[in-house]
Amino acid sequence: MHFDKRAEVYERFRPPYPDALWRRLGELGVLRDGVRVLELGAGTGEATGRLVESGATVTAVEPGKALAERLHRRVPEARILIATAEDAVVPDSAFDVVVVATAVHWLDLDFVVPRLHRATSSVTRTSTPGSESASQTSSRSAGGRNVRVVSRRPSGFIG
C-alpha cells in the first residue's frame, strides 16, 4: 500500500471527517455507548478516535503496518488487525456496525459485502435504530471510482 510507505505524511495531511457526519450518525443512533464497530481501512485512526470517543468498542482493520502502528499510538483502545478487508478474520455476528470511511474504493465489494453481512448481528440489522448502511464520500478521493462505487450501493444506504 503506497500510503503505508509515507505514513507520517499521510497522518499529517489527512483531512478530518466533517462534524456533520458525526452529528448525523449520532442522530441515527449509530454512535452510542457499547456499540461494536468493525472499521475497515482505518488508516491512522481519523474515524477510529471519534468512534471510540462515542463509547464504541472498535476493531480496526488496516493493511499497512506503519499506518496501524500510528493508529495504535493514536487510539490505543481500539483492537487492530493488520490485514486487508478481504483477508481479515472476522467472526459472524460479532459487530453492530461496519464503518468504511473513505477506503471503500479499495475493496473488492463483491467479496467483502457478503462477509460484512455475516459479521453484523441479524438482530442489529433488523431492530436497531440507525442500522441502515451509511456512506460518506469525498470529492477529493478516487474521482470516478467513487462515483462507480456509490452508484452500486444497494437500497437502504444513507449518504
User: Where are the chain's structural domains?
Assistant: 2-151
At 31 the pLDDT is: 87
Burial degree of 64 (CB within 10 A; 0-12, 13-18, 19+): buried
CATH of segment(s) 2-151? 3.40.50.150
At 3 the pLDDT is: 84
At 1 the pLDDT is: 61
Q: What is the pLDDT of residues 106-121, one digit of tens each?
A: 889 999 999 999 999 7
How far apart, in whole angstroms, are the C-alpha atoms of residue 31 and residue 70? 23
pLDDT tens, per residue, the chain with 159 residues = 678 888 888 888 888 889 999 999 889 888 899 999 999 999 999 999 999 999 999 999 999 999 999 999 999 999 999 999 999 999 999 999 999 988 888 889 999 999 999 999 754 443 344 434 444 444 344 444 444 444 444 444 444
pTM over 0.85: no
Question: Rounded to 10 degrees, what is the CA torsion of 41, 56, 49, 148?
Answer: 30
Taking every pair of C-alpha atoms in the chain, what is the biggest distance, in angstroms? 42
At 13 the pLDDT is: 85
Long-range pairs for 113-120 at CB < 8 Å and ≥24 separation? Answer: 115/90, 116/38, 118/90, 118/92, 118/93, 119/38, 119/90, 119/91, 119/92, 119/93, 119/94, 119/95, 120/38, 120/93, 120/95, 120/96
At 159 the pLDDT is: 40
**Could you tell me if 72 and 35 are in contact, meaning their C-beta atoms sit under 8 angstroms apart?**
no
The counts of H helices and E strands in the chain are: 8, 4
At 138 the pLDDT is: 41
At 122 the pLDDT is: 57
At 30 the pLDDT is: 84
